[in-house]
Structure 1
Amino acid sequence: MSAASLDDALQDLSEAAGRRLVVVDWTMAVVGYSIHENEADRLRLSVLLAHAGGWTPPPAAATSDDVYAVFPQVGRCLLIPLTDHRRLVGYLLCVVDDDPLDDAQLQTLRHGAAGLGVLLSLRLLYDEHDRSRARELLIKVIGDDPVQRRAAAEALIAERHIGAAAQYSAVAIEGDPRPGHSPDSSALAVWTTLDFVARSSTASVVGSTLDDGTGILIFPRPVVTDRLARILDDMDVGDVRAGIGPVVGRLEEIHQSVTLARRALRANWLAPADHGRALTSDDAGLDGLLALLPIEQLTVDDLPRSVQTLLAADLSSDIVATLQAYLDCGGDAARTARTLTIQRSTLYYRLGRVRSALDRDLSDGRLRAELQLGLRLHGMQQDWSTR
């Protein structure tokens, strides 16, 4: 039997036992499932799929005994261990919350489970081989060698890791990148996104995590920002953010999209309060340029002298915020007052405090640009160190 026959064997067993069945691996990630016909069954299946790999395996993982466990929104489930005659590889799961098994059904499931373990082991082996191969090609297609990029692009399409298309775009995904934060959420986000795409469309998307923990996904089409943001919001993987690169016409050019996707991702994390879960390289704007700087290593002494003087004056947060709004409004006093919902006299008073501290004229365009950029950098520095 081939690994592909796991699905057929599972469906045959489902029909023989008269129960809806799910196969999960040893991490509790869903690997296969039988046809779920009614709405209640499909709802429970959707919960299992949504939490794939997110539940703790039963404590009897090292034994061959059946295990009962209760999962939120699913109910009480029977889990029959699946082995490949050497080790545990997963479980055959059957919901029994509102419909207990009779003895004949239980014996049918136990008998069928004996063969499913080997098929599951083969499936996992092939899946791991495919993931390893896809990662190898992905790293080459985004690398520096143009010859390797071309060959990897051809192999990715020929081996059906990704579909042939007229447009490709890249996404970079990462959990909190600050030191001391776990990179595991990036890998989980990549695999959860891949699983979502596989279950919700016919698109073939390739993805993996790089050695630095950043997740990279390549789509054979433009990426819809709002849709990706919803996927990340719905996943139980913590605060994960994404950067989206521009569309390219050929897969061998995807490294360009990856570069800008990673820049947008960094910009997103440098100013998370100003951006959503997913940020395109176009929408990153000036933050995308600032993301090229080693902001984590900069200090106040690296900021323009005017900004240092302003910060040293220890003005109130309201005054500094008013200055930032004034700069963002292009020096338009009326618009600034409306934006802040303050009186024009209050605005002029606060700007007067700024002028006194700087001993400079705020009508100077170069000074305004210097202050706007410097305060933005300072805000990113503060956010990075205190978030």
Structure 2
Amino acid sequence: MTNDKFPEIRDLAIIGDRRTAALIDTKGTVVWYCPERFDRPSLLAALLDPERGGAWSVRSPDTTFASRRYLEDTGVLETTFATTNGNYWQITDWMCLGEKLPRGICRLFSPVPNEVTVTLQPAPDYAQHPPDLQYLGQAVQIDRRYYLYASHPLILEKDCIYFKILEGESGWALLVDEQLASVTIEKIETWLEITQARWQKIASYAIYHGPYEREIANSLRALRMLTFEDNGGIIAAATTSLPEVVGGERNYDYRYVWLRDAGMIVSALIRAGSNGDEERRFLDYICGFACNSDSMPLKPFTTLDGEPVHLEKTLDWVGYRGSQPVVIGNAANSQLQLDAFGNVLLAAKLIYNRFDTREHWFLIEKIADYLVEHWS
């Protein structure tokens, strides 16, 4: 398989709802998406296997990528395309963020200068079985769990669902985790407004002024995209098995919360002028899942539920640009990683000094004693 079927990692953009995330390349194709939660099985994973992994693609003749941006300090992504005759059109992608909003991916298409074909090729449960596709009212039901809605008639063809937006028309599509009573453009625009307002509120938690303001704001957005809103845990990456070196074997599943990252993340948030809510929630998360083992006060990393991770499974996929193995799960949790404990202490120190507190002192003291006894 040629590498031109794989996007450059630097060309991927992320959207999310602080429970899960999706990755989109510069062609407007969703190449990675695990519905419901970061560490759930994938529905779209062309990033790791373009033939089998599943994708949500957008195709239009004589169209090329022009630019993209996030709308202000939100997680709403706008991608602009250009045609050979000088016309432009946009796709606006986001995941709803707010109470009582549907969970999933929303896509708005501005009026298109050429006919556009939007194709969803789902590959449920890490492509372990063909998708079960059924018409259900206004939607197509996928594996009795997910629902695709669109502004134009949905057509089933083998294991794909597609629709066409004709020249001069606008459109929309939703891939959600629940069946909806009805979907209209007015509802979708309202969901977009609520989502933007919620992201702007989250962005207001840290107000940084100084060098590289835009770059720092983008980095903070990435951290917030990888934060599990239910408990404040921050995963190391939204994906599994992107290689450290293309063609190499060090392709790990990083959809877990690492202690090692704690000090760096907390330090970054505090230095960015945070009000303390996010970093204190992160410390709450870390210290809320002390392991029962006498050998270590904490495991080096945990699931989003705070449970240890032991098992690994290899998928029969080609891997990113041929990088194998493709792994889900992570069996490194029995490793002794003293720097991970040190980062928890650094995080606690920053919070204690900034906010004059001593929260979780019992566990912090236990970690410090453990390091004194085992530093060598």
Q: Normalised by the shorter chain, which TM-score bucket?
A: under 0.3
Q: Which has the higher contact order (CA 8 A, sep 6+)?
A: 2
Higher alpha-carbon Rg: 1
| TM-score after normalising by structure 2 | 0.26
| TM-score after normalising by structure 1 | 0.26
Select the structure that is richer in strand: 2
